Amino acid sequence: MNLSSGAILILSGPSGAGKSSLITKIIDHIGPSYFSISTTTRPMRAGEVNGTHYHFVSEEEFKYEIENEMFLEYAFVHGNYYGTSLVPVKKALKEGKLVIFDIDVQGHDAVKNRLGDITTSVFTTTPTLHELKRRLHNRSTDSEEVITRRIDMAKREVQRIGEYDYLVVNDNLDEASEILISIAKSARMKIPTLQINEFIQQWEANA
Amino acid sequence: MNLSSGAILILSGPSGAGKSSLITKIIDHIGPSYFSISTTTRPMRAGEVNGTHYHFVSEEEFKYEIENEMFLEYAFVHGNYYGTSLVPVKKALKEGKLVIFDIDVQGHDAVKNRLGDITTSVFTTTPTLHELKRRLHNRSTDSEEVITRRIDMAKREVQRIGEYDYLVVNDNLDEASEILISIAKSARMKIPTLQINEFIQQWEANA
Protein backbone atom coordinates (compact mmCIF):
# COMPACT_ATOMS: atom_id res chain seq x y z
CA MET A 1 0.00 0.00 0.00
CA ASN A 2 1.09 3.59 -0.53
CA LEU A 3 1.42 4.90 3.00
CA SER A 4 2.57 8.42 2.27
CA SER A 5 0.20 11.33 1.91
CA GLY A 6 2.75 14.08 1.24
CA ALA A 7 4.93 16.14 3.52
CA ILE A 8 6.51 19.58 3.66
CA LEU A 9 10.20 20.43 4.01
CA ILE A 10 11.08 24.05 4.76
CA LEU A 11 14.60 25.36 4.25
CA SER A 12 15.47 28.78 5.64
CA GLY A 13 18.73 30.64 6.09
CA PRO A 14 20.61 33.74 5.00
CA SER A 15 21.28 34.55 1.35
CA GLY A 16 24.77 33.17 0.80
CA ALA A 17 24.26 30.08 2.99
CA GLY A 18 23.94 27.89 -0.10
CA LYS A 19 20.24 27.05 -0.02
CA SER A 20 19.85 26.77 -3.80
CA SER A 21 22.70 24.26 -4.16
CA LEU A 22 21.35 22.25 -1.22
CA ILE A 23 17.84 22.14 -2.66
CA THR A 24 19.15 20.93 -6.03
CA LYS A 25 20.90 18.05 -4.21
CA ILE A 26 17.75 17.13 -2.25
CA ILE A 27 15.56 17.09 -5.37
CA ASP A 28 18.05 14.77 -7.10
CA HIS A 29 17.89 12.21 -4.26
CA ILE A 30 14.45 12.25 -2.70
CA GLY A 31 11.94 10.80 -5.16
CA PRO A 32 8.65 12.57 -6.02
CA SER A 33 8.98 16.17 -4.91
CA TYR A 34 7.68 19.63 -5.75
CA PHE A 35 9.82 22.72 -5.23
CA SER A 36 7.47 25.55 -4.37
CA ILE A 37 8.31 28.66 -6.38
CA SER A 38 7.50 31.91 -4.59
CA THR A 39 5.52 34.72 -6.14
CA THR A 40 7.12 38.16 -5.80
CA THR A 41 6.79 41.78 -6.82
CA ARG A 42 10.54 42.43 -6.72
CA PRO A 43 12.34 43.20 -10.01
CA MET A 44 13.88 40.29 -11.89
CA ARG A 45 17.68 40.04 -11.49
CA ALA A 46 20.11 39.28 -14.33
CA GLY A 47 19.98 35.55 -15.11
CA GLU A 48 16.61 34.94 -13.46
CA VAL A 49 13.76 33.27 -15.33
CA ASN A 50 10.07 33.91 -14.65
CA GLY A 51 8.45 30.66 -13.44
CA THR A 52 11.80 29.08 -12.55
CA HIS A 53 13.26 31.33 -9.88
CA TYR A 54 10.06 33.19 -8.98
CA HIS A 55 6.68 33.98 -10.39
CA PHE A 56 7.23 37.69 -11.04
CA VAL A 57 3.99 39.68 -10.78
CA SER A 58 2.92 43.29 -10.40
CA GLU A 59 1.93 44.73 -7.03
CA GLU A 60 -1.64 44.91 -8.31
CA GLU A 61 -1.74 41.18 -9.13
CA PHE A 62 -0.16 40.32 -5.78
CA LYS A 63 -2.74 42.32 -3.85
CA TYR A 64 -5.54 40.62 -5.79
CA GLU A 65 -4.23 37.20 -4.63
CA ILE A 66 -3.99 38.44 -1.03
CA GLU A 67 -7.59 39.62 -1.10
CA ASN A 68 -8.74 36.27 -2.49
CA GLU A 69 -6.83 34.25 0.16
CA MET A 70 -4.74 32.54 -2.47
CA PHE A 71 -1.54 32.54 -0.37
CA LEU A 72 -0.38 29.95 2.19
CA GLU A 73 1.81 32.76 3.54
CA TYR A 74 3.09 36.10 2.30
CA ALA A 75 5.30 38.89 3.59
CA PHE A 76 6.61 42.34 2.74
CA VAL A 77 10.44 42.28 2.88
CA HIS A 78 12.95 44.95 1.75
CA GLY A 79 10.15 46.87 0.00
CA ASN A 80 8.77 43.91 -1.97
CA TYR A 81 6.05 41.29 -1.53
CA TYR A 82 6.89 37.56 -1.41
CA GLY A 83 4.29 34.79 -1.10
CA THR A 84 3.52 31.10 -1.50
CA SER A 85 0.47 30.22 -3.60
CA LEU A 86 -1.77 27.62 -2.02
CA VAL A 87 -3.19 25.72 -5.03
CA PRO A 88 -0.01 23.99 -6.35
CA VAL A 89 1.03 23.05 -2.78
CA LYS A 90 -2.29 21.32 -2.08
CA LYS A 91 -2.10 19.48 -5.42
CA ALA A 92 1.45 18.22 -4.76
CA LEU A 93 0.54 17.04 -1.24
CA LYS A 94 -2.44 15.16 -2.63
CA GLU A 95 -0.07 13.40 -5.04
CA GLY A 96 2.07 12.24 -2.09
CA LYS A 97 4.98 14.49 -2.99
CA LEU A 98 7.53 16.11 -0.71
CA VAL A 99 6.86 19.84 -1.04
CA ILE A 100 10.06 21.86 -0.58
CA PHE A 101 9.99 25.51 0.48
CA ASP A 102 12.83 28.03 0.43
CA ILE A 103 11.28 30.69 2.68
CA ASP A 104 12.39 33.09 5.40
CA VAL A 105 11.78 33.04 9.16
CA GLN A 106 8.45 34.87 8.83
CA GLY A 107 7.23 32.41 6.17
CA HIS A 108 8.36 29.46 8.28
CA ASP A 109 6.37 30.77 11.20
CA ALA A 110 3.22 31.08 9.07
CA VAL A 111 3.49 27.61 7.49
CA LYS A 112 4.29 25.94 10.84
CA ASN A 113 1.18 27.52 12.30
CA ARG A 114 -1.05 26.25 9.50
CA LEU A 115 0.52 22.90 8.60
CA GLY A 116 2.93 22.15 11.46
CA ASP A 117 2.03 18.45 11.75
CA ILE A 118 3.24 17.59 8.28
CA THR A 119 6.06 20.15 8.21
CA THR A 120 9.75 19.51 8.88
CA SER A 121 11.88 22.64 9.01
CA VAL A 122 15.61 23.19 8.66
CA PHE A 123 17.67 26.30 9.25
CA THR A 124 20.93 26.37 7.34
CA THR A 125 23.77 28.84 7.63
CA THR A 126 27.47 29.30 7.14
CA PRO A 127 29.71 28.27 10.08
CA THR A 128 30.36 31.94 10.93
CA LEU A 129 29.18 35.46 10.09
CA HIS A 130 32.66 36.09 8.68
CA GLU A 131 32.18 33.26 6.17
CA LEU A 132 28.75 34.61 5.18
CA LYS A 133 30.25 38.05 4.42
CA ARG A 134 33.02 36.42 2.39
CA ARG A 135 30.53 34.41 0.28
CA LEU A 136 28.24 37.39 -0.33
CA HIS A 137 31.16 39.55 -1.51
CA ASN A 138 32.58 36.74 -3.65
CA ARG A 139 29.43 36.03 -5.61
CA SER A 140 29.30 39.73 -6.59
CA THR A 141 25.68 39.70 -7.72
CA ASP A 142 24.59 42.31 -5.16
CA SER A 143 25.49 45.95 -4.52
CA GLU A 144 27.21 46.91 -1.24
CA GLU A 145 23.94 48.32 -0.02
CA VAL A 146 22.09 45.06 -0.69
CA ILE A 147 24.88 43.04 0.96
CA THR A 148 24.68 45.20 4.09
CA ARG A 149 20.92 44.66 4.22
CA ARG A 150 21.32 40.88 3.78
CA ILE A 151 23.87 40.75 6.60
CA ASP A 152 21.60 42.70 8.94
CA MET A 153 18.74 40.33 8.12
CA ALA A 154 21.00 37.28 8.62
CA LYS A 155 21.95 38.52 12.10
CA ARG A 156 18.28 38.82 13.03
CA GLU A 157 17.28 35.47 11.48
CA VAL A 158 20.04 33.51 13.21
CA GLN A 159 18.54 34.56 16.56
CA ARG A 160 15.46 32.50 15.66
CA ILE A 161 17.14 29.16 14.86
CA GLY A 162 15.44 27.74 17.95
CA GLU A 163 12.05 27.87 16.18
CA TYR A 164 13.19 25.24 13.65
CA ASP A 165 13.28 21.44 13.87
CA TYR A 166 16.87 21.07 12.62
CA LEU A 167 20.06 23.09 12.12
CA VAL A 168 22.42 22.18 9.30
CA VAL A 169 25.70 24.11 9.19
CA ASN A 170 26.79 24.38 5.57
CA ASP A 171 30.57 24.25 5.92
CA ASN A 172 31.06 21.59 3.27
CA LEU A 173 28.34 21.19 0.59
CA ASP A 174 28.62 17.38 0.34
CA GLU A 175 28.34 16.82 4.09
CA ALA A 176 25.53 19.35 4.48
CA SER A 177 23.55 17.83 1.63
CA GLU A 178 24.00 14.31 3.00
CA ILE A 179 22.40 15.30 6.29
CA LEU A 180 19.69 17.32 4.52
CA ILE A 181 18.81 14.34 2.31
CA SER A 182 18.51 12.23 5.50
CA ILE A 183 16.16 14.80 7.00
CA ALA A 184 14.12 14.93 3.77
CA LYS A 185 13.82 11.11 3.62
CA SER A 186 12.74 11.04 7.28
CA ALA A 187 10.17 13.79 6.69
CA ARG A 188 8.24 11.42 4.41
CA MET A 189 7.89 8.82 7.22
CA LYS A 190 6.62 11.16 9.94
CA ILE A 191 3.51 9.62 11.46
CA PRO A 192 1.20 12.62 10.76
CA THR A 193 2.03 12.40 7.04
CA LEU A 194 0.98 8.73 6.84
CA GLN A 195 -2.41 7.05 6.50
CA ILE A 196 -1.97 5.36 9.90
CA ASN A 197 -5.55 4.19 10.47
CA GLU A 198 -5.69 2.56 7.06
CA PHE A 199 -2.33 0.91 7.70
CA ILE A 200 -3.50 -0.59 11.03
CA GLN A 201 -6.74 -1.87 9.48
CA GLN A 202 -4.95 -3.55 6.59
CA TRP A 203 -2.20 -4.90 8.86
CA GLU A 204 -4.77 -6.72 11.00
CA ALA A 205 -6.95 -7.81 8.06
CA ASN A 206 -4.03 -9.75 6.56
CA ALA A 207 -3.91 -12.30 9.36
CA MET B 1 32.81 23.43 17.30
CA ASN B 2 31.08 20.27 18.43
CA LEU B 3 27.43 21.16 18.22
CA SER B 4 25.87 17.89 19.33
CA SER B 5 24.97 17.16 22.92
CA GLY B 6 23.59 13.65 22.47
CA ALA B 7 20.18 12.39 21.38
CA ILE B 8 17.92 9.41 21.92
CA LEU B 9 16.51 7.04 19.30
CA ILE B 10 13.76 4.66 20.40
CA LEU B 11 12.84 1.63 18.34
CA SER B 12 9.68 -0.28 19.24
CA GLY B 13 7.73 -3.00 17.50
CA PRO B 14 6.58 -6.60 17.84
CA SER B 15 9.01 -9.47 18.42
CA GLY B 16 9.59 -10.79 14.92
CA ALA B 17 9.59 -7.36 13.25
CA GLY B 18 13.38 -7.46 12.89
CA LYS B 19 14.42 -4.86 15.44
CA SER B 20 17.75 -6.51 16.32
CA SER B 21 18.89 -6.66 12.69
CA LEU B 22 17.83 -3.05 12.14
CA ILE B 23 19.68 -1.84 15.23
CA THR B 24 22.88 -3.61 14.12
CA LYS B 25 22.64 -1.75 10.79
CA ILE B 26 22.11 1.62 12.49
CA ILE B 27 25.06 1.15 14.85
CA ASP B 28 27.31 0.31 11.88
CA HIS B 29 26.40 3.56 10.08
CA ILE B 30 25.71 6.26 12.62
CA GLY B 31 28.98 7.22 14.36
CA PRO B 32 29.31 7.44 18.15
CA SER B 33 26.36 5.58 19.64
CA TYR B 34 25.38 3.64 22.74
CA PHE B 35 22.88 0.79 22.58
CA SER B 36 21.05 0.73 25.88
CA ILE B 37 20.86 -2.80 27.26
CA SER B 38 17.77 -3.45 29.35
CA THR B 39 17.84 -5.01 32.79
CA THR B 40 15.40 -7.88 33.28
CA THR B 41 14.31 -10.55 35.71
CA ARG B 42 13.22 -12.97 32.97
CA PRO B 43 15.18 -16.24 32.54
CA MET B 44 18.04 -16.23 30.04
CA ARG B 45 17.18 -17.91 26.70
CA ALA B 46 19.48 -20.31 24.84
CA GLY B 47 22.19 -18.31 23.09
CA GLU B 48 21.76 -15.17 25.20
CA VAL B 49 24.71 -13.58 26.98
CA ASN B 50 24.45 -11.61 30.22
CA GLY B 51 25.52 -8.00 29.56
CA THR B 52 25.08 -8.35 25.78
CA HIS B 53 21.39 -9.14 25.33
CA TYR B 54 20.20 -8.07 28.77
CA HIS B 55 21.53 -7.49 32.23
CA PHE B 56 19.93 -10.49 33.93
CA VAL B 57 19.20 -9.82 37.60
CA SER B 58 17.11 -11.33 40.39
CA GLU B 59 13.75 -9.87 41.34
CA GLU B 60 15.33 -8.71 44.61
CA GLU B 61 18.04 -6.74 42.81
CA PHE B 62 15.49 -5.25 40.41
CA LYS B 63 13.28 -4.04 43.25
CA TYR B 64 16.28 -2.48 44.98
CA GLU B 65 16.97 -0.40 41.84
CA ILE B 66 13.30 0.64 41.63
CA GLU B 67 13.36 1.84 45.24
CA ASN B 68 16.53 3.84 44.63
CA GLU B 69 15.12 5.50 41.46
CA MET B 70 17.84 4.02 39.31
CA PHE B 71 15.56 3.41 36.30
CA LEU B 72 14.67 5.79 33.47
CA GLU B 73 11.63 3.55 32.97
CA TYR B 74 10.60 0.05 33.95
CA ALA B 75 7.63 -2.25 33.42
CA PHE B 76 6.21 -5.62 34.38
CA VAL B 77 5.44 -7.61 31.19
CA HIS B 78 4.46 -11.29 30.78
CA GLY B 79 5.35 -11.94 34.45
CA ASN B 80 8.82 -10.37 34.33
CA TYR B 81 10.38 -6.98 35.05
CA TYR B 82 12.18 -5.00 32.32
CA GLY B 83 13.88 -1.65 32.89
CA THR B 84 16.38 0.92 31.60
CA SER B 85 19.11 1.99 34.00
CA LEU B 86 19.64 5.74 34.12
CA VAL B 87 23.39 6.09 34.81
CA PRO B 88 24.86 4.73 31.52
CA VAL B 89 22.27 6.70 29.49
CA LYS B 90 23.23 10.00 31.13
CA LYS B 91 26.93 9.25 30.62
CA ALA B 92 26.46 8.47 26.90
CA LEU B 93 24.37 11.62 26.34
CA LYS B 94 27.09 13.71 28.03
CA GLU B 95 29.59 12.21 25.58
CA GLY B 96 27.42 13.39 22.65
CA LYS B 97 26.41 9.87 21.65
CA LEU B 98 23.22 8.69 20.02
CA VAL B 99 21.56 6.50 22.65
CA ILE B 100 19.51 3.72 21.05
CA PHE B 101 16.67 2.00 22.89
CA ASP B 102 14.83 -1.19 21.97
CA ILE B 103 11.81 -0.80 24.25
CA ASP B 104 8.07 -1.45 24.14
CA VAL B 105 5.13 0.94 23.91
CA GLN B 106 5.00 1.43 27.69
CA GLY B 107 8.72 2.21 27.85
CA HIS B 108 8.41 4.62 24.92
CA ASP B 109 5.66 6.46 26.71
CA ALA B 110 7.79 6.83 29.86
CA VAL B 111 10.94 8.02 28.04
CA LYS B 112 8.96 10.47 25.86
CA ASN B 113 7.45 11.96 28.99
CA ARG B 114 10.83 12.47 30.65
CA LEU B 115 13.13 13.26 27.71
CA GLY B 116 10.76 13.97 24.81
CA ASP B 117 12.70 16.97 23.48
CA ILE B 118 15.79 14.98 22.67
CA THR B 119 13.96 11.77 21.76
CA THR B 120 13.10 10.52 18.27
CA SER B 121 10.91 7.43 18.20
CA VAL B 122 10.23 4.85 15.52
CA PHE B 123 7.70 2.05 15.41
CA THR B 124 8.64 -0.81 13.13
CA THR B 125 6.54 -3.78 12.10
CA THR B 126 6.03 -6.38 9.42
CA PRO B 127 3.80 -5.35 6.47
CA THR B 128 0.99 -7.59 7.80
CA LEU B 129 -0.04 -9.63 10.83
CA HIS B 130 0.17 -12.71 8.60
CA GLU B 131 3.86 -12.01 7.91
CA LEU B 132 4.53 -11.52 11.64
CA LYS B 133 3.01 -14.94 12.42
CA ARG B 134 5.08 -16.51 9.66
CA ARG B 135 8.33 -15.02 10.98
CA LEU B 136 7.61 -15.99 14.59
CA HIS B 137 6.89 -19.61 13.59
CA ASN B 138 9.92 -19.75 11.29
CA ARG B 139 12.46 -18.63 13.84
CA SER B 140 11.31 -21.46 16.15
CA THR B 141 12.87 -20.05 19.30
CA ASP B 142 9.56 -19.74 21.14
CA SER B 143 6.89 -22.21 22.27
CA GLU B 144 3.37 -22.01 20.78
CA GLU B 145 2.18 -20.44 24.02
CA VAL B 146 4.83 -17.72 23.87
CA ILE B 147 4.08 -17.06 20.18
CA THR B 148 0.37 -16.63 20.93
CA ARG B 149 1.23 -14.15 23.68
CA ARG B 150 3.57 -12.22 21.39
CA ILE B 151 0.89 -11.99 18.70
CA ASP B 152 -1.69 -10.72 21.19
CA MET B 153 0.77 -8.10 22.39
CA ALA B 154 1.63 -7.12 18.79
CA LYS B 155 -2.07 -6.53 18.03
CA ARG B 156 -2.33 -4.21 21.03
CA GLU B 157 0.94 -2.36 20.30
CA VAL B 158 0.10 -1.70 16.66
CA GLN B 159 -2.95 0.28 17.83
CA ARG B 160 -0.56 2.79 19.40
CA ILE B 161 1.63 3.56 16.35
CA GLY B 162 0.17 7.07 16.39
CA GLU B 163 2.14 7.89 19.57
CA TYR B 164 5.46 7.57 17.69
CA ASP B 165 7.34 10.07 15.51
CA TYR B 166 7.92 7.66 12.60
CA LEU B 167 6.66 4.37 11.17
CA VAL B 168 9.05 2.11 9.26
CA VAL B 169 7.50 -0.98 7.66
CA ASN B 170 10.13 -3.71 7.58
CA ASP B 171 9.26 -5.50 4.37
CA ASN B 172 12.80 -5.52 3.01
CA LEU B 173 15.69 -5.23 5.51
CA ASP B 174 17.94 -3.09 3.27
CA GLU B 175 15.21 -0.56 2.48
CA ALA B 176 14.00 -0.41 6.08
CA SER B 177 17.52 0.09 7.41
CA GLU B 178 18.24 2.82 4.87
CA ILE B 179 15.29 4.87 6.10
CA LEU B 180 16.12 4.11 9.75
CA ILE B 181 19.70 5.29 9.25
CA SER B 182 18.31 8.51 7.76
CA ILE B 183 16.08 8.98 10.80
CA ALA B 184 19.02 8.26 13.14
CA LYS B 185 21.28 10.78 11.34
CA SER B 186 18.51 13.40 11.49
CA ALA B 187 17.96 12.73 15.21
CA ARG B 188 21.47 14.05 15.93
CA MET B 189 20.66 17.41 14.28
CA LYS B 190 17.38 18.11 16.09
CA ILE B 191 17.51 21.62 17.52
CA PRO B 192 16.86 20.59 21.17
CA THR B 193 19.87 18.24 21.04
CA LEU B 194 22.23 21.04 19.94
CA GLN B 195 24.02 23.77 21.87
CA ILE B 196 22.10 26.46 19.97
CA ASN B 197 22.89 29.48 22.16
CA GLU B 198 26.60 28.75 22.03
CA PHE B 199 26.38 28.31 18.27
CA ILE B 200 24.68 31.71 17.79
CA GLN B 201 27.22 33.45 20.03
CA GLN B 202 30.18 31.98 18.19
CA TRP B 203 28.59 32.58 14.79
CA GLU B 204 28.28 36.31 15.52
CA ALA B 205 31.66 36.57 17.25
CA ASN B 206 33.43 35.40 14.09
CA ALA B 207 32.51 38.48 12.07
Beta carbons of B167 and A206 less than 8 Å apart: no
Q: Residue A77 has what pLDDT?
A: 83
**Which chain B residues are closer than 8 Å to A155 by Cβ?**
204
Residue B30 vs residues A157, A176, A183, B9, B43: alpha-carbon distances, Å: 30, 15, 14, 11, 32
Distance CA B16, CA B186 (A): 26
Which residues from B are below 8 Å from A183, CB to CB? 182, 186, 189
The pLDDT, as a whole number, for residue A1 is 54
Chain A: residue whose CA lies nearest to B180: A186
User: What is the pLDDT, as a whole number, of residue A183?
Assistant: 97
Chain segment A40-80, per-residue pLDDT in tens:
999 998 889 998 889 999 999 999 999 999 999 998 988 99
Find which of A189, A193, A199 to mutate to test the B interface (most B CBs within 10 Å of its CB): A189
pLDDT, average across residues A11-27: 94
CB nearest to B191's CB, from A131, A158, A164: A164
Q: Are A52 and A38 in contact (CB under 8 A)?
A: no
Report the alpha-carbon distance of residue A203 to residue B17 in Å, rounded. 13
Distance of CA B153 to the CA centre of its chain: 17
DSSP state of A193: G
- Å from A71 to nearest chain B CA? 28
Q: How far does B91 lie from chain A, in Å, by closest CA? A: 24
CATH 3.40.190.10 correct for B7-36+97-205: no
Write the burial class of residue A188 (CB in 10 Å: 0-12 exposed, 13-18 middle, 19+ buried): buried
**For all residues of chain A together, what is the average pLDDT?**
92
User: Residue B183 and residue B185: Cα distance in Å, rounded?
Assistant: 6
Collect all residues from A whose CB is shorter than 8 A from any CB in B.
Answer: 3, 125, 127-131, 133, 155, 158-159, 161-162, 164-169, 178-179, 181-183, 185-186, 189-191, 194, 196, 199-200, 202-204, 206-207
Residue B186: which of A127, A182, A203 has the nearest Cβ? A182
How many whole angstroms from its chain centre is CA B157?
15
Intra-chain end-to-end CA distance of chain A, in Å: 16
Of A187, A185, A168, which Cα lies nearest the Cα of A28? A185
Buried b (16+ CB within 10 A) or exposed e, A145-168: eebeebbebbbebbebbeebbbbb
Q: Give the pLDDT confidence score for residue B53 in this predicted structure.
A: 85
- The distance in angstroms from the start CA to the end CA of chain B is 16
Inform me whether the pLDDT recorded for B1 exceeds 90.
no
The CATH code that applies to domain A7-36+96-205 is 3.40.50.300
Q: Which residue in chain B is spatially nearest to A158 when comparing CA positions?
A: B200
User: Domain ranges in chain B?
Assistant: 7-36+97-205
What's the pLDDT score for residue B179? Answer: 95
**Angular region, A167: left φ>0, alpha ψ -120 to 50, beta rest:** beta
Residue B45 host element (H or E): none
Predicted interface score ipTM higher than 0.85 = yes
Question: Are B162 and A196 in contact (CB < 8 Å)?
Answer: yes
pLDDT of residue A179: 95
pLDDT for res A105: 93
Q: Is A77 left (phi over 0), alpha (psi -120 to 50) or beta?
A: beta
* Residue pLDDT, tens place only, B28-49: 999 899 999 999 999 998 889 9
pTM here is: 0.89
Question: DSSP state, B107?
Answer: H
User: Among candidates A107, A135, A179, A120, which has minimal Cα distance to A17?
Assistant: A135
Query: In this prediction, what percent of chain B has a pLDDT beyond 70?
Result: 99
pLDDT score at B35: 94
Percent share of chain B, pLDDT over 90: 81
Nearest to B101 by CA among B32, B165, B185, B8: B8
The stretch A85-112 carries a mean pLDDT of 92
Q: How far apart are CA A47 and CA A150, in angstroms?
A: 20
- Counted residue by residue, chain B has a size of 207
Q: Indicate which of B30, B203, B206 best probes the interface with A, i.e. most A CBs within 10 Å of its own CB.
A: B203
**Average pLDDT of the residues in B62-81:** 92
pLDDT tens digits for range A111-163:
999 998 999 999 999 999 999 999 999 987 788 998 999 999 999 999 999 99
What's CA A65's distance to the chain center, in Å?
Answer: 20
Give the number of A-B residue pairs with CB atoms closer than 8 Å.
Answer: 106
Give me the mean pLDDT over the B175-197 stretch. 94
